[in-house]
Amino acid sequence: MKRWQFWLGLAISAIFLYIVLRDLDLGSFWEEVKQANYWWLIPGVGVYFLAVWARAWRWHYLLRPLKAIPTSTMFPIVAIGYMGNNVYPARAGEVLRAVVLKRKEGVPISASLATIIVERIFDGVVMLAFVFINLGELARLTGGAGMGGGISIQQIALWGSVVFFGALLVFLLAAMFPIASEKALAWFAARLVPTRFRARVLELGRRFLGGLESLRSPLEILMVFLTSVVIWLLETGKYWFVMQAFDFKVSFFALMLMNGIVNLATSIPSAPGYVGTFDAPGIAVLEAYGVPTALATSYTFVLHVALWLPITLLGAYYLAREGIKWGQIQVEEGKPA
């Protein structure tokens, strides 16, 4: 609560929520919420858990050069990570699952964090693909759709491309040229890191580079990318099932665009659970396709809860089963990674 990241995220979420609520007719919004057919959330949650299982398989695949761990073992750890991202600030769930993996399987935290970052980069690339597939139609519909505050969807796509494709290039080069990468690491450490910390930083850096080993094969890169596409198509399937609960229809491609935009926007610091940063861009995309504001808002809020609540409860169950508390995670984080 005292960390500046928490308060920054809270302020950003408040701004996005203001954008959402400033012109919303709360009466119409509540009517749409009451009229929804919530039985459709059941298959939506089922499809979402399939996507989480696919994420566990992808992580197992990325970790194979370090240690072969069954997907069934990875699934609870991935669920714990989702829970952490949903209830703790600054995407703490990523560190949480790396620490749990170390406790259960002995994989160094720095190496597993490298694979987690690789996951996020591929997720970003797929999200950008979803956006660019549909960006021409959206521009034709809106002439430059935005979500308020002078922020356009095209700007999100542009800056997202710079960040994710740039990061992907850096990681691919680091994986393909490990000797040169270690030399570069040693060069920077010698000039930027105090002598007493240098050996530790170099060791962590080498372990991190070891976590990139799965990117040295073009076939494995293709497998990770295709798995990422499957994951996000399954998640878009949840968007589609939840849409059936409401009185509007847009194409699956429109929902792919919404999925891409909201997940790129949730890269922005926010309150835990991506409050506001998920909702404002999602509503803007639906409005661009002609969905009335109250209906778009009710759907997006229900979708957000349906994405947040089941996996958070499941992750909390798995964390309790492990007998781990947040204070223990912070202690583990301070130990050799």
pLDDT at residue 68, rounded to an integer: 93
DSSP element (H, E) containing 294: helix 293-322
Mean pLDDT by 10 residues, the chain (337 residues): 74 92 93 97 98 96 92 96 90 90 92 90 88 75 52 66 80 84 88 86 82 81 93 97 97 93 87 92 91 97 97 95 69 54
What residues contact 314, with CB distance under 8 A and at least 6 apart? Answer: 79, 83
Q: Which two tokens stand for residue 101?
A: 């993996």
pLDDT at residue 42, rounded to an integer: 97
Backbone angles phi, psi at 246, to 5 degrees: -120, 165
Q: Indicate the pTM of the whole model.
A: 0.86
Q: Which two tokens stand for residue 195?
A: 């002598």
246 and 306 Cβ atoms separated by less than 8 Å? no
Mean pLDDT of all residues belonging to the chain: 87
User: Contacts for 311-315 with beta carbons within 8 Å, 24 or more apart?
Assistant: 311/48, 311/49, 311/52, 311/79, 311/82, 311/83, 311/86, 312/82, 312/83, 312/86, 312/87, 314/79, 314/83, 315/79, 315/80, 315/81, 315/82, 315/83, 315/84, 315/86, 315/93
d(CA 161, CA 155): 10
Interior angle at CA 185, CA 125 and CA 264, nearest 5: 20
pLDDT at residue 213, rounded to an integer: 81
pLDDT digits (tens, 9 = 90+) for 219-230: 888 999 999 999
d(CA 323, CA 103): 11
24 and 286 Cβ atoms separated by less than 8 Å? no
Residue from 50, 92, 3 nearest 233 by CA: 50
What residues contact 7, with CB distance under 8 A and at least 6 apart? Answer: none
The region that residue 246 occupies, defined by phi over 0 for left and psi between -120 and 50 for alpha, beta otherwise, is beta
d(CA 318, CA 79): 8
Residue from 78, 111, 114 nearest 97 by CA: 78
pLDDT at residue 1, rounded to an integer: 47
pLDDT digits (tens, 9 = 90+) for 137-165: 776 665 544 554 455 666 666 677 777 77
Question: What is the three-class DSSP state of 20?
Answer: helix
